[in-house]
Amino acid sequence: MSPQAALHALQGSYRPTVLATLRELTFRRVAQHTDRRLLSYMASKHIAAPWEARPRVLVCVPPLPGQERLLTTAAKFAASRDDALTAISVRTDHRTDAEKQLLGGYAALIHQLGGEFATVDGKDIAATVAAYAREHGITEVVLMRTPGRRQSKTLRRLIRLLVDVDVHILASDR
């Protein structure tokens, strides 16, 4: 290649910034593909413990006002390490219109922050979250401590059920 052709290439589509961007996109694609294949393999071999091909963060959102800080903190945590992020809300009984509206706002926020939102039905919050975490290969769970005896009992039980998962507990705003 002549020096002029090399100079022209470096000013066109072979600029270092373009090459760096393409390299990053390629690494992300390979990581996503590897992650999907690993999850498929784990499911076919009935492997329950999470394997960390790509860390997955799960943030637990109750239908209570003021959970925006929980969601933004979890999103920043996941984004700082390029982790996948999912927010989950467990529906134990019928939700009021106010709760549905509140969770709809949280779902919109988590999507803006680059994550996914899931609502799961279950009578036992701790068992439902732990089962979801196992099924989806979650490696880290982010929770916010809320006042009240029932919530602290659920929190302690959830921590016991999440044996192979890192649990991060944020202090409540109240």
The percent of residues in the chain predicted with pLDDT above 70, rounded, is: 89
Read off the pLDDT band of 38 (50, 70, 90). confident
For the ranges 69-73, 107-111, 145-149, the lowest mean pLDDT is seen at: 145-149
Give the CATH number for residue 74.
3.40.50.620
- In this structure, are 19 and 73 located in the same domain? no
> Are 99 and 19 within one domain?
no
**Phi then psi dihedrals of residue 41, to 5 deg:** -60, -45
Range of the domain at 133: 56-170
What span, in angstroms and rounded, lies between the C-alpha atoms of 92 and 90? 6
Share of the chain above pLDDT 90, in %: 42
143/65 same-domain check:
yes
Q: Are residues 76 and 153 in the same domain?
A: yes
pLDDT band, very low/low/confident/very high, at 25 (cuts 50, 70, 90): confident
Q: Length of the chain in residues, anyone? A: 174
Summarize the confidence of residues 29-39 as an average pLDDT: 78
Residue 50 lies in a domain: no
Residue 31 near residue 54, CB atoms below 8 Å: yes
**Same domain for 153 and 89:** yes
Hey, how many other C-beta atoms are within 10 angstroms of the C-beta on 109? Answer: 18
- Mean pLDDT, rounded, of the chain: 85
| Residue 158, domain member (yes or no) | yes
pLDDT in tens, 63-74: 999 999 999 999
Q: Does residue 51 lie within any of the structural domains?
A: no
pLDDT value, residue 149:
53
Number of folded domains in the chain? 2
In a domain, 61, yes or no: yes
Name the residue among 130, 142, 103 with its Cα closest to residue 119: 103
